[in-house]
C-alpha cells in the first residue's frame, strides 16, 4: 500500500511520519495506532472520523471537505480595522484567495489615495467591504 511505501522511503531519509489520518479505513488499518492522529486511535471501524486541522484549515475527514473558520470582529471601518481582519485569515494554501484578494484591494485603495490609517474609508470601499 502507498502509505507503507511512503513511510519506508521517509525512514530511509531519517524522517518519521506521524499523526496519520485518512477517510479510507483500509489505509488507516495499515498504519500503527501509535502513528495515527489522536482522533483516530480509539475509533471503531463504524465510527465517524472527526474534523482535523492541517496547514491552517479544517478538514472534515469523512466527506473530504475543507473548511475555514473566519471571525470577522467588530472593527471600525478604517484601513487599520479592515487590515487587522484581513491579515487574521490564515490561508497558506491560497484556497480562499479570491475572497482575501478582494479584501486586500479594499485596503490598498485608501492607501493610494493617501488616506490615514484611522481615517474613515471612502463610501465606495465601505460598500465593497459590506458586500
pLDDT tens digits, one per residue of 7-53: 889 889 999 888 887 777 787 788 888 888 776 544 455 555 566 66
Domains of the chain: total: 2
pTM: 0.54
Task: Assess if residue 50 is contained within a domain.
Answer: yes
Task: Assess if residue 54 is contained within a domain.
Answer: yes
What was the pLDDT predicted at 14? 93
Residue 5 has pLDDT above 80, yes or no: yes
DSSP three-state, residue 34: helix
Residue pair 35/18 in contact by the 8 Å Cβ criterion: yes
Q: What is the pLDDT of residues 67-123, one digit of tens each?
A: 777 777 677 778 888 888 888 888 888 888 888 888 888 888 888 888 888 877 888
- Asked if residue 63 and residue 95 are part of one domain, the reply reads no
Cell of residue 121, nine digits = 474609508
- Asked if residue 94 and residue 50 are part of one domain, the reply reads no
- Asked if residue 46 and residue 26 are part of one domain, the reply reads yes
Q: Please give the biggest Cα pair distance in the chain.
A: 60
Residue that terminates a domain, selected from 67, 93, 108: 67
| DSSP run (H or E) holding 40 | helix 38-41
CA distance 87 to 119: 19
- Asked if residue 61 and residue 6 are part of one domain, the reply reads yes
Task: Look up the domain containing 115 and give its range.
Answer: 79-130
Residue that terminates a domain, selected from 16, 40, 67: 67
Task: Assess if residue 73 is contained within a domain.
Answer: no
- Asked if residue 87 and residue 53 are part of one domain, the reply reads no
- Asked if residue 60 and residue 6 are part of one domain, the reply reads yes
Q: What is the pLDDT of residues 61-70, one digit of tens each?
A: 777 788 777 7
Residue 87: count other Cβ atoms within 10 Å of its Cβ: 12
CA distance 17 to 12: 12
Residue pair 65/51 in contact by the 8 Å Cβ criterion: no
Amino acid at each position: 500500500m502507498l502509505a507503507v511505501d511512503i513511510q519506508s522511503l521517509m525512514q530511509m531519509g531519517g524522517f518519521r511520519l506521524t499523526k496519520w489520518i485518512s477517510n479510507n479505513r483500509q489505509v488507516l488499518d495499515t498504519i500503527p495506532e501509535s502513528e495515527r492522529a489522536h482522533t483516530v486511535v480509539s475509533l471503531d471501524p463504524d465510527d465517524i472520523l472527526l474534523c482535523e486541522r492541517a496547514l491552517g484549515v479544517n478538514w472534515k475527514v469523512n466527506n473530504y471537505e475543507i473548511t475555514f473558520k473566519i471571525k470577522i470582529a467588530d472593527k471600525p471601518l478604517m484601513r487599520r480595522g479592515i487590515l487587522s481582519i484581513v491579515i487574521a485569515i490564515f490561508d497558506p494554501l491560497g484556497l480562499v484567495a479570491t475572497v482575501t484578494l478582494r479584501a486586500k484591494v479594499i485596503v490598498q485603495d485608501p492607501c493610494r489615495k493617501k488616506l490615514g490609517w484611522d481615517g474613515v474609508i471612502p463610501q465606495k470601499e465601505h460598500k465593497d467591504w459590506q458586500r
